[in-house]
Structure 1
Amino acid sequence: MIALWKYHKIPVLFFIASCILYLWFAYNITRLQTTQLLILYIALFAFAYNIIKTSGFNFRLLVIFSILVRFLFLFAIPNLSQDFYRFIWDGQMILSGLNPYLSTPDFQMELGILTNFPNQVELHNGMGSLSASHFTNYPPINQLCFVLANLFPGKSILSSVIGLRLIIIAADIGTLYFGKKLLERLKLPSNRIFWYILNPFIIIELTGNLHFEGVMIFFLVWSLYILHSGQWKWAAVILACSISVKLIPLMLLPLFFGYFKKGGQFNNIANKFKEPAIIDELSKPKVIINNLLKLIAFYAIVGLTSILLFMPFFSMEFVTNYTKTVGLWFGNFEFNASIYYLSRAIGYAITGYNEIAIIGKILPVISILIILGFSFFKQNDSISKLISSMLLVLTLYLFLSTTVHPWYIATLVFFSVFTNYKYPLVWSLVIALSYLAYSNTENSENLWIIALEYTIVFSVFVWEVFLKKSQLNTLASN
């Protein structure tokens, strides 16, 4: 302890200051206190930056800081999101022998109070009318996490919250482990992982507010790590687990086309053992066809594993409810959007009405075309290039989305540590502005605030993705 203080006094002081602010954030702030929220948020980012920089990227020290700071939230009820009430509700439904996909909380409440369903009324009231009136859209492994959390000793809502939080903390530790190993495999500095793990946005939104993007990211990085090792069959199984936490990785599946077509996993093995003959073989049409057959098998394993994970809940009513609910979440709700809000304004000017029904169908088509473009016309023949494409595809998808809750960008922050793009880190800071919507009783958004957020994000994005690269190419040609 003395040596720690002697050699790392400055980062320790920043860490202690951060702990005080995190404790205040976790146990004293509500999303209605937007001024305090923003001040604490900005201060935590400044402290995190200084912790990482002044520590000299001491890996062991930063690991300790990363884990300790998460446990500060252990006994806190989430204060920026009420989604956790629905998580606990779904877990209790399963433990009561009921299928959470077949009834809404409102309908279940109309049937009466169940004796083996702790805190049923409190959970229903806490989740809000929007969640209570819709069927659940959380995939099966996410549901398993909800069940496990409800098995944590105790019958209170807090005991279930602690269970949820321990699962998410464990997932973050797993992401730290596999993220470090993948960075090393890609010949990148392993300390980059702390721009994700120690990012206040990640700590607050995942550990604090109990969003399961962290568990999805854990399975995703695990899958990418073993894919890089050439174990594509197991990579497919783990990727299916990621999809079964959150559906977002589904849209990334087409990007694997370029990786398998060029034999990316065999290139990695060939380079590792320095066998030029193996690399030469990759250029032969027979090997390319063989790799495409592996791609088909990869997709088949992902699909079959996903279906098997859904099977315990399967029925035609489940299919109807689930697809309807997913469609509603992606096409009927509006929050913190960018291009969609611009399109909506144009629609109002032309027709005088909110044209979400039309725009909400056009923008997904554009997203699909972007995904296909990145899949077939971009060289995704290495894990590094594959992750870069995943980052850009998911970014453009969110730019076109009608709803962008803060925790949606967690995956962008994670992907950014494997690239030279910093705009996701900038976005993770300015997205706190979206919480200003809760500063009034109507929870209405100030479009000038949204414009400020996206002006900053778009400016950095355009600079890094287009202008910076163009400038570098110009300098190289001169």
Structure 2
Amino acid sequence: MLLNSTLFKYHKVPILFILLSVLFYGSFAYDLVRTDITKLLLLYFGLFVFAFQLIKTTGFNFRLLVVASILFRLVFLVATPNLSQDFYRFIWDGQMFSVGFSPYLTTPDYRMELGIMSNFPNQVELYNGMGSLSSSHFTNYPPINQLCFYLGNLFPGQSILSSVIGMRLIIISADIGILYFGKKLLEHLKLPSSRIWWYMLNPFIIIELTGNLHFEGVMLFFLIWSLYLLHKGKWKWAAVLLGCSVSVKLIPLMFLPLFFWWFLRKENITQGLKNLTLFYFIVIGTVLLLFVPFFSLEFVNNYSETVGLWFSNFEFNASIYYIAREIGYSITGYNEIATISKILPVITILFILGFSFLRKNTDLKSLITSILLVLCIYLFLSTTVHPWYIATLVLLCVFTDYRFPLVWSAVIILSYLAYTNDNNSENLWIIGLEYLIVFSAFIWEVFFGNRIFKNQVSI
């Protein structure tokens, strides 16, 4: 009792912001539909204000902020995601695995044509909930992600909510792991460990990962653990964990070239090349090993086809691509996505090669900065940028000198305004406002701040 009274006496203001945040998160989780944009924006921006004030007024009290970050996530524990319907497909894939079928070999549409299975709980509800876009395509989620879907379905009960709770506990556990390794890595890099709270208490992270059940947090857990081990000199185990990260989401594959100078920074170039080759071999080998249980020629065809569709058929919340699309319309009168989607990846690859070979990523902070900027360029050039895609930027920026991803995490909520109309069409003025803010912050920090190329080869 004395401890509680002392805690309240010296932390009245932060406790007030914690309680206000709990109320706002509760309203967000249980009393919000995504078409109610006014309420959505008020709650979202209010939570950002509370998070800032909470971090500012606690004096970075570690224990109090740990409790707050976990408490905010637990508010969502028994809530059904209300901003995304992807979780229906997650549960579907997990159920497919549970009944002995590979989730990679059939689409939900095809499975429903075969009839209802007695050992497949909530099959009709899951199918109807995921929507026609998801049900008509093969799954594109890698094996560790599939394992998370399966484990989530093992949570006691056979309802959709029980599976949601199971998956949510996995995501919360991953964030706790990020807190642990992220704090240790910041300390090893001689950076303020308090920076980790800009990830852990970020409303965007809490809502998109814990709330909407996106597994970027699990990918980031393996990635940050891998970077920590790399810094400790345990690069072989770091390679295994990087392979696990890829096996949750494929995105970290694009980071592999950036490790070039990390292994060639010492005088013995021959040994460095050998270590680099072995590092790549372990990463790719880990990924392939995890895919082995699902391997077949049909799987390869289905998976490559589905992944390819995301780069050439879908459009959402894009920036540079939308500008290129409008130019294409003005010249040909048609949507030139087929052509543009082939050009933009080439530009991305050129940037990756430039950051890999012209910028010497010989220390971990420089390496993480390169990863951050390469991913940012990739997203700027992408045809589809769902909000949860930028979670990686939010985490990585705490290890760098850049804060524009935090700005992006605050304004990306504007992309949800597409759901205010019946056909879910985007208002390009709103998207333009979002990216005006993001590009302004990006250009100011990268170019006028002159941080990235200081003492480095310019690219």
TM-score of the superposed pair, with normalisation by structure 1: 0.93
Question: Is residue 2:125 matched to residue 1:144?
Answer: no
How does 1:174-253 map onto structure 2 within 5 Å?
A: 174-253=177-256
Match of 2:373 among 392, 413, 425: 392
Q: Deviations over 1:422-455 (max 9, x none)?
A: 1000000000000000001110000000000000
The Cα of 1:472 is off from its aligned counterpart by: 12
Q: Post-superposition, which runs of at least 4 consecutive aligned residues in structure 1 deviate over 2 A? A: 470-473
Aligned alpha-carbon RMSD (Å):
1.1
The residue number in structure 1 matching 2:390 is 409
Q: Please tell me the residue identity of whatever aligns with 1:411.
A: T
Q: Which runs of no fewer than 5 residues in structure 1 stay unpaired?
A: 263-281, 474-478
The Cα of 1:369 is off from its aligned counterpart by: 0.6
CA–CA separation in structure 1 for the residues paired with 2:257 and 2:449: 28
Match of 1:370 among 351, 355, 376: 351
How does 1:5-404 map onto structure 2 within 5 Å?
A: 5-262=8-265, 282-283=266-267, 287-404=268-385
Q: Deviations over 1:271-316 (max 9, x none)?
A: xxxxxxxxxxx33xxx221011100000000111111100000000
The Cα of 1:59 is off from its aligned counterpart by: 1.1
Change (3 A) 1:428 1:471: closer
Which secondary structure does the structure 2 equivalent of 1:163 belong to?
Answer: helix
The residue number in structure 2 matching 1:271 is none
Alpha carbons 2:26, 2:76 under 8 Å: kept: yes
CA–CA separation in structure 1 for the residues paired with 2:141 and 2:111: 18
CA–CA separation in structure 2 for the residues paired with 1:113 and 1:125: 13
CA–CA separation in structure 2 for the residues paired with 1:349 and 1:63: 53
CA–CA separation in structure 1 for the residues paired with 2:423 and 2:102: 34
Question: Is residue 2:427 matched to residue 1:446?
Answer: yes
Q: Deviations over 1:45-67 (max 9, x none)?
A: 00000000000011111111111
CA–CA separation in structure 1 for the residues paired with 2:200 and 2:255: 23
Q: Please tell me the residue identity of whatever aligns with 2:119.
A: N
The residue number in structure 1 matching 2:457 is none
Q: Please tell me the residue identity of whatever aligns with 2:407.
A: V
The Cα of 1:30 is off from its aligned counterpart by: 1.2
Alpha carbons 2:401, 2:451 under 8 Å: kept: no
The Cα of 1:470 is off from its aligned counterpart by: 8.0
Q: Deviations over 1:340-365 (max 9, x none)?
A: 00000000000000000000110011
The Cα of 1:331 is off from its aligned counterpart by: 1.7
CA–CA separation in structure 1 for the residues paired with 2:269 and 2:202: 41
TM-score of the superposed pair, with normalisation by structure 2: 0.97
CA–CA separation in structure 1 for the residues paired with 2:143 and 2:264: 31
Q: Please tell me the residue identity of whatever aligns with 1:94.
A: F
Which secondary structure does the structure 1 equivalent of 2:163 belong to?
Answer: helix
The Cα of 1:4 is off from its aligned counterpart by: 1.1
Which secondary structure does the structure 1 equivalent of 2:449 belong to?
Answer: helix
CA–CA separation in structure 1 for the residues paired with 2:407 and 2:362: 28
User: May I ask how many residue pairs the two structures share in their alignment?
Assistant: 451
CA–CA separation in structure 1 for the residues paired with 2:63 and 2:188: 19
Q: Please tell me the residue identity of whatever aligns with 1:217.
A: L
CA–CA separation in structure 2 for the residues paired with 1:102 and 1:372: 35
Q: Please tell me the residue identity of whatever aligns with 2:159.
A: S
Q: Which runs of no fewer than 5 residues in structure 2 stay unpaired?
A: 455-459
Change (3 A) 1:471 1:74: closer
CA–CA separation in structure 2 for the residues paired with 1:190 and 1:111: 54
Alpha carbons 2:445, 2:451 under 8 Å: kept: no
CA–CA separation in structure 2 for the residues paired with 1:403 and 1:20: 33
Identity fraction in percent? 70
Q: Please tell me the residue identity of whatever aligns with 1:293.
A: K
Which secondary structure does the structure 2 equivalent of 1:100 belong to?
Answer: coil
CA–CA separation in structure 2 for the residues paired with 1:472 and 1:55: 35
Which secondary structure does the structure 1 equivalent of 2:79 belong to?
Answer: coil
CA–CA separation in structure 2 for the residues paired with 1:307 and 1:252: 17
Q: Deviations over 1:362-403 (max 9, x none)?
A: 001100111011000001001110000000000000000000
